[in-house]
Amino acid sequence: MSRGNRRTARTLAAATGVALAVTMLVGCSAGAEEETIRFTFSKREAIGFMSELVSEYNASQDRVNVEIDTSGVDVVSASFVRGNPPDVMLANYNMEVSRFVDRCTLTDLSDTTAASTIRPELQPLMDQYGICEDRTSALPFSVMSAAVIYNKEIFAEHGLEVPSTWSELIEVAETLKAAGVDPFYGTFKDDWSVGQGWFDYSLGGSLDTLAFFEEIADEGADLGPDSPTSFQKDFAEPMERMVELAEEYANADAPSRGYGDGNLAFANGEAAMYLQGPWAFPEIAKTAPDLDLGTFPLPMTENPDDRRIRVNVDLAAMIPEGSKHQEAARDFLEYLFRPEVIEEYNESLLGFAPTIDAAPVSDPRIAGMQEFYDDGRVYQGASVLIPKTIPVFSYAQAIVLGADPASTLATLDADWARLAFRQ
């Protein structure tokens, strides 16, 4: 049932309830006392959606009252320290949240109905951020997938097909360049846009990031030039190719252009490809709402099977051990994972539902990623798997702006080893 239909049904039910109440005797006994739970939600752009959903849940039954808290992850962290955590968390799943998992401060959700609906191939992505043995500490709620955004109109105008290998990508870029069109629009002024786009896409299309980070975790404080696996060894070729794309095929003013500039320029047809995620679509649409856009994974090798899309678990659901309302919290969690709820949320935010039987995405702008998502050909961005105390975005930006990749990657190795030693 759609949210509009649910609202209509709820209104009719309320009207019926009032009519019945008029005929009832005043002496009827009251029902059980309502239990109030605190629900933390951290995605600012979806607060309206989730607030309305909470209201719908509260109106659908009289046992649990959910109060939504949008104060953010820092306040949540402090509440764990005070021994008063939220009852349900729906938060970005990243390094900041992983400490709750590693310290086993979250309940086991493996016996919930919601857990049985989750795609099993997503579990390795969850485990990369931490594990509490024999527990399912968090359930993915929304997966954001990202790949090269391309202008279908420009591709069609120049008779271009979506490339599936590195050499095909270079051929496309050369054709565009010869026609006076910038193949890529770079926004190198903003380091995060280099890190999440150029850096992550180049690495994810070149190597198995999951295996790489498992191996350097084993190296720990010994990571360095003599290690079997290291940043300076394994990242060298992908960074060389990233630099080639940036220097040869990006707009000449990329070093002085930021994210906002890129959205406007791309909307105006100033480049054919853009290394941003779906978060850029609403911004591009403000200028060009009817622009025909699509997505494809950045090919970085000569093997088409190496192509993968960048994903991150944008939201995951968790119930802290410290919650004093476990049953009520679980009831609301199960409501969140109802197919009509989780699929509508992801549809509205251009996300991919993590559930087994979810319908394919309907937005043509992200439909090009569906087959890769369905086949599990995904990777988590290297930039989000490196602790925030290491300035990887700045390192990625420095490389595209001309810093020596070898020395920069050697610094990254040293940073990782130093952090591992301290921990």
pLDDT tens sequence across 275-307: 999 999 999 999 999 999 999 999 999 999 999
Q: Taking all residues of the chain, what is their mean pLDDT, rounded to a whole number?
A: 90
User: For domain 35-145+312-368, is the CATH number 3.40.50.10800?
Assistant: no
Q: In what order do the strands lie in the sheet with 182-185?
A: 182-185, 271-274, 148-151, 293-296
CATH code assigned to 146-311+374-422? 3.40.190.10
β-strands 35-41, 64-69 pairing:
parallel
Query: Among 31-45, 107-121, 296-310, which stretch is predicted with the lowest mean pLDDT?
Result: 31-45
User: Domain residue spans in the chain?
Assistant: 35-145+312-368, 146-311+374-422
pTM of this prediction?
0.86
Looking at residue 75, what is its pLDDT? 67
HSE value, Cβ hemisphere, 13 Å, CA-based, for 418: 8
Q: How far apart are CA 357 and CA 366, in angstroms?
A: 18
pLDDT tens by residue, 142-183:
999 999 999 999 999 999 999 999 999 999 999 999 999 999
pLDDT tens by residue, 252-264:
999 999 999 999 9
Q: How far apart are CA 297 and CA 165, in angstroms?
A: 10
β-strands 88-91, 35-41 pairing:
parallel
Query: Among 15-19, 125-129, 143-147, 169-173, which stretch is predicted with the lowest mean pLDDT?
Result: 15-19
Strand segments, DSSP code E, in 288-373 are 293-296, 309-318
* Interval 131-145 mean pLDDT: 95
pLDDT tens by residue, 216-249:
999 999 999 999 999 999 999 999 999 999 999 9
Q: Which residues of 115-137 are buried (b: 16+ CB within 10 A; e: fewer)?
A: eebbbeebeebbebbbebeeebb
Q: How far apart are CA 318 and CA 230, in angstroms?
A: 33
Which three-class secondary structure state does DSSP give residue 17?
Answer: helix
Q: Does pLDDT of 350 surpass 70?
A: yes
